[in-house]
């Protein structure tokens, strides 16, 4: 035992010494399955989806299906555009002129490609077939859908982006009036990466009170709810390469059914009590006009079952600033004038709210989620009379409501009268 101890120890040490090099080599030399160099990734910043004409099928490469009739019908053909960040061209800091020769020209920091396919994945596979780098969606910020596509239905689009684990829920999805691909090709001057400009427009819109939070994840959640429909920003590319928010694109399930006016965004936000207030409106008072700006809103929605139907009460309170007068006729120092302005704007607001609700009722698109109130607060009634999304869509058209508004002008700016 005594001689054996040190000897076996020595043998063990020798064995360990022999095992060391192969183990070290194994640890250091083997790669990682998921190693990807950043240059080998095509970082997709924006995606656009348009409906393609059936005649354009010839343009499509049979990458995912080469037997005729195996793929979906030609009527489903779509054109997918992607905006890919060019590695090394994206300026990293504010002071940098952007590496390479790209400089500040937005269109030189990205590469816009478009392909035709039968579904989103089919189109992206066709694109991948002609691209050396692997498409990567981890930084996808903006998905633009053409109005035609949105009216056709977004089931496939939603499914693809929902399923893909790289896509963030904080990306924006928007419906473009006209061609969606044009937004990918736009080159706005404010931001050096075009997709980021589209995103910033909407993100800043939230901060300025121009648009409610409506990221793709929020849209999906709303769309799934039984007593609510989703909506997306409805935008248009203007002649000076800017993005104008035109209103809300109203959905029923996954299909767009209509669009609203820009001021309806304010109505939506008012009924939801979203802050800050960001919209200004003309107010008619004593034969002339003034403009006021909403700074703060508060609202409360309640309902009761009246005659076997939900009856809603909207209460909203606004705080306003007076922003301009059209001429000198009014004396703002007079408290009765202020009262008249409040009164007149109150009437205007009620009219706006009613026309907004009428429009959504006619389309059967409950973007306010009134059905969710019924489902949550009166589950017995809901289970007996509604139960499904389709039945709520029908019932929404028949609901009645009343609106109570309170307007308070708080400030008048730096001018005394």
- Rule CB under 8 A: choose which of 22, 165, 287, 335 binds another protein: 165
**Quick one: 31 or 69, whose CB is closer to another protein?**
31
Measured in residues, the chain has a length of: 417
Size of the site for another protein (CB under 8 A): 25
DSSP 351: H
CA 283 and chain centroid, separation: 31
- Give the position of tokens 């000198």: 328
Binding segment toward another protein, per CB under 8 A, in 114-122, 212-220, 256-264, 338-346? 212-220
**What is the C-alpha to C-alpha distance for residues 119 and 160, in angstroms, rounded to an integer?**
9
Which residues, 30 to 69, sit near another protein by CB under 8 A? 32-34
Q: Say whether residue 413 binds another protein (CB under 8 A).
A: no
- Residue of the chain from 225, 296, 315, 391 that contacts another protein (CB under 8 A): 225
State yes or no: residue 377 binds another protein (CB under 8 A). Answer: yes
Which of 69-77, 162-170, 318-326, 397-405 is the region at the interface with another protein (rule: CB under 8 A)? 162-170
- Asked if 272 interacts with another protein (CB under 8 A), we say no
Rounded to the nearest angstrom, the gap between the alpha carbon of residue 241 and the centroid of all alpha carbons in its chain is 20
Instruction: Give the closest residue to 357 by CA, choosing from 390, 316, 314, 394.
Output: 314
Alpha-carbon span 232 to 219, nearest angstrom: 7
Comparison of 224 and 333: residue with beta carbon closer to another protein: 224
SS3 label, residue 26: helix
Q: Give the bridge partners for 251, in sequence order.
A: 256
Which is nearer to another protein, 15 or 376 (by Cβ)? 376
Select the residue interacting with another protein from 376, 397, 404, 413 (CB under 8 A).
376
Nearest C-alpha neighbor of 154 from the set 49, 260, 45, 47: 49
Question: Would you say 181 and 48 are in contact if contact means Cβ atoms under 8 Å apart?
Answer: yes
Interface residue with another protein, options 74, 125, 133, 226 (CB under 8 A): 226
Residues at the interface with another protein (CB under 8 A): 32-34, 162, 165, 168-170, 217-218, 220-222, 224-226, 369, 372-373, 375-377, 379, 382-383
């Amino acid at each position: 035992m005594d001689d054996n101890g040190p000897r076996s120890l020595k043998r063990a040490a020798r064995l360990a010494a022999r095992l060391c090099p192969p183990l070290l080599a194994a640890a250091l030399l083997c790669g990682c399955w998921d190693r990807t160099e950043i240059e080998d990734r095509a970082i997709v910043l924006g995606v656009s989806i348009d409906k393609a004409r059936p005649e354009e099928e010839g343009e499509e490469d049979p990458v995912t299906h080469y037997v005729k009739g195996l793929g979906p019908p030609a009527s489903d053909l779509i054109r997918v555009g992607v905006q890919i960040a060019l590695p090394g061209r994206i300026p990293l800091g504010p002071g940098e002129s952007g590496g390479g020769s790209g400089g500040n020209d937005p269109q030189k920091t990205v590469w816009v490609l478009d392909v035709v396919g039968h579904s989103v994945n089919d189109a992206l596979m066709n694109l991948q077939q002609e691209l050396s780098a692997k498409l990567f969606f981890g930084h996808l910020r903006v998905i633009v859908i053409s109005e035609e596509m949105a009216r056709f239905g977004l089931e496939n689009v939603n499914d693809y982006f929902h399923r893909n684990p790289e896509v963030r829920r904080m990306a924006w999805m928007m419906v473009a009036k006209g061609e969606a691909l044009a937004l990918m090709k736009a080159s706005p001057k404010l931001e050096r990466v075009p997709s980021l400009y589209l995103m910033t427009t909407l993100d800043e819109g939230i901060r300025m009170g121009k648009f409610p939070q409506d990221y793709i994840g929020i849209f999906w959640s709303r769309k799934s709810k039984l007593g609510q429909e989703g909506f997306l920003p409805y935008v248009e590319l203007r002649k000076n390469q800017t993005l104008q928010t035109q209103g809300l694109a109203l959905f029923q399930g996954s299909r767009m059914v209509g669009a609203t006016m820009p001021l309806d965004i304010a109505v939506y936000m008012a009924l939801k009590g979203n802050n800050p207030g960001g919209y200004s409106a003309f107010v008619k008072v004593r034969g002339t006009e003034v403009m006021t700006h909403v700074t703060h809103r508060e609202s409360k929605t309640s309902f009761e079952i009246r005659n076997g139907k939900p009856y809603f009460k909207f209460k909203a309170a606004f705080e306003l600033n007076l922003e301009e007068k059209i001429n000198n006729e009014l004396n703002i120092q007079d408290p009765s004038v202020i009262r008249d302005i409040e009164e007149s704007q109150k009437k205007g607001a009620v009219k706006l709210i009613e026309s907004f609700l009428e429009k959504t009722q006619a389309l059967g698109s409950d973007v306010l989620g009134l059905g969710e109130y019924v489902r949550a607060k009166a589950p017995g009634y809901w289970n007996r009379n509604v139960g499904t999304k389709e039945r709520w869509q029908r019932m929404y058209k028949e609901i009645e409501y009343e609106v109570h508004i309170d307007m308070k002008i708080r400030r008048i700016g730096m001018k005394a009268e």
